[in-house]
Structure 1
Amino acid sequence: MKNLAIIPARSGSKGLVDKNIKPMNGKPLMGYTIDAALGSGVFDAVMVSTDSEKYAEIARGLGAEVPFLRSERTASDSASSWDAVTEVIEKYKEMGKSFDTFCLLQPTSPLRTSEDIRGAYDLFTEKKAKFVVSVCETEHPLSWCGTLPEDLSMDGFIERAGANQRQKAKKSYRLNGSIYIAVIGAFAEDNFFYRDGSYAYVMSKRSSVDIDNEEDFLYAELLMNRGL
């Protein structure tokens, strides 16, 4: 089975400008994901999907391959990561290269480890899965969450029976956006991951830190520096 790692690193970040190449402890942010992918030992190719020649040069210097840049369509704000994945698979086919699975690794998860990636692939193999999606435990029970009306009334926000039952609440989990594995044939038929044949790979909260803004960046850097 041939496995492809795809690291999406578009240059048009608005929340934190150029976050994918922003230095964290002297290394471009996406370098941590490239290192984790290469160190996992499960991929036949580790590639970065980007629209920027500058990003491409940095990625190549970090050990990833960038055989082509994104098209104008997948470089736009409206394009999803799955649009980029589809383009990558098609481009490789045009180059005479085919893969059985792909793994999407967001570069904004610098604390995700090679062990996390191997663990996700082990689960994928063990379950004979079509898809594996990484998750982590939620910070609070789902019973503490709800929507608010315009007048901000809390009436009915929490059910009376469960108001003081936090310790008895079942564990709940959320997507952490770090690892998405798919059989390429199944993805081509239907790119909806949350269905029969899909399984969750549970990661620690530390490994699940996702960088969207400056505060996230500083927090991840702090955890990394302190070895927490």
Structure 2
Amino acid sequence: MTTHSCIALIPLRGGSKSIPMKNIRPLGGQPLCAWVLRAAVACPLIDAVYVSTDCDAIRRTVQDLGLGVRLIDRPAELATDEASTESVMLHCMQQLPFERLVTIQATSPLLTAQHLQQALEQFDAEELDTMLSAVRTKRFFWYDDGTPINYDPLHRPRRQNFPGTLMENGAFYITQRAMLQSRRCRLGGKIGIFEMPEHTAVEIDEPQDWEAVSRLLRASHSA
């Protein structure tokens, strides 16, 4: 089997309590998962795209898209609410030879092929072991005990002078195979951050997120 320089993995399990069958529910005229699958397939630096799933309906939906996405059968024990994304990544590693793994979340449909290409170019340029995607927020954060997290109240900065804080947006992670093998974690070693636009902070986890993302997709396609 050919060892790919870079593959993409999209975990799509059938179970979802907050939004039933969320991963294939229509959003903007196509299944939710189609947005990130199209982005991954269109990225020239990704050699092959795989979906890991335990669900026949998801398999059929992915195949019907006609994108050439390949399927990995996910064992039932890796499709529970308690199963970690790392467990799915490690299962993929056992099945396939690759050097870098881009793990993409279907709940981030605002991800584009350009984001992925720029991230992989940065990954190589900075000689990273792992990378996460993030957005910059200029909000002030506090711990429950009243301790400030990211600023000094005695020297409260103006927004235009405040660098802000980077927050994971969960869109994707890039992991060198050797790092995944040794750490069994998506992040470790020399970690880099790919900064995405502020509007990509939205993830679809609850029903109220659905309409918010729908509006953003309509706005981006009408611009």
TM-score, length-normalised on structure 2? Answer: 0.88
Distance 2:138 2:13 in 1: 30
Moved more, 1-10 or 81-90: 1-10
- The answer to whether the Cα contact below 8 Å between 1:56 and 1:66 also exists between their aligned partners in 2 is no
Match of 1:31 in 2: 34
| Separation in structure 1 between the aligned mates of residue 20 and residue 104 of structure 2, nearest angstrom | 20
The C-alpha deviation readout for 1:40-98, integer Å capped at 9, x for no partner, is 12222101111101101111222253433211220111101110011011123xxxxx1
1:91 to 92, 95, 100: 95
Contact 2:138 2:163 (8 Å CA) reproduced? no
Counterpart Cα distance in 2 of 1:26 and 1:207 = 19
Kept after mapping to 2: 8 A contact 1:4/1:45: yes
The higher radius of gyration belongs to: 1
Is 1:148–2:151 an aligned residue pair?
A: no
Shift of the alpha carbon at 1:192?
A: 4.1
Structure 2 CA distance for partners of 1:165 and 1:68, relative to 1, 3 Å: closer
Residue number in structure 2 paired with 1:95: none
| Alignment partner, residue 114 of structure 1 | 113
Equivalent AA in structure 2 for residue 65 of structure 1: V
Q: Distance in 2 between matches of 1:2 and 1:123?
A: 15
SS of corresponding position for 2:71: coil
1:36-51 alignment to 2 at 5 Å? Answer: 36-51=39-54
Cα drift, residue 210 of structure 1: 1.1
Q: Secondary structure at the match of 1:112?
A: coil
- The secondary structure found in structure 1 opposite 2:117 is helix
8 Å CA contact 2:10, 2:51 repeated in 1: yes
1:167 to partner: Cα distance? 4.5
1:209 shift after superposition: 2.2
Look up the SS of the partner of 2:92 in the other structure.
helix
Partner Cα distance (1:128, 1:56) in 2: 35
Secondary structure of the equivalent of 2:101?
strand
The one-letter amino acid of 1:115's match is: Q
Q: Against the structure 1 CA distance between its residues 139 and 171, is the aligned structure 2 distance closer, same or farther, given a 3 Å change threshold?
A: closer
Say yes or no: does 1:53 pair with 2:88. Answer: no
Alignment of 1:1-228 (within 5 A): 2-62=5-65, 63-92=67-96, 98-140=97-139, 144-148=140-144, 160-163=153-156, 165-227=158-220
Report % sequence identity: 24
Q: The residue matched to 2:83 in structure 1 has which SS?
A: coil
Answer yes or no: is the 8 Å Cα contact 2:138–2:159 preserved in 1: no
RMSD over aligned Cα atoms: 2.0
- Cα deviation for residue 196 of structure 1 reads 3.9
- Give TM-score, length-normalised by structure 1: 0.86
**5+ unaligned residues in a row in structure 2: which ranges?**
none
Over 3 Å counting, the alpha-carbon distance change for 1:69 and 1:50 in structure 2 is: same
Higher strand share: 2
For structure 1, list consecutive stretches of 5 or more residues without a partner in the other structure: 93-97
Relative to 1, partners in 2 of residues 1:67 and 1:183: Cα closer, same or farther, differing over 3 Å?
Answer: same
2:129 touches 2:176 (CA, 8 Å); kept in 1? yes
How many angstroms apart in 2 are the aligned matches of 1:26 and 1:200?
A: 31
Return the alpha-carbon distance in structure 2 between the equivalents of residues 91 and 194 of structure 1: 20
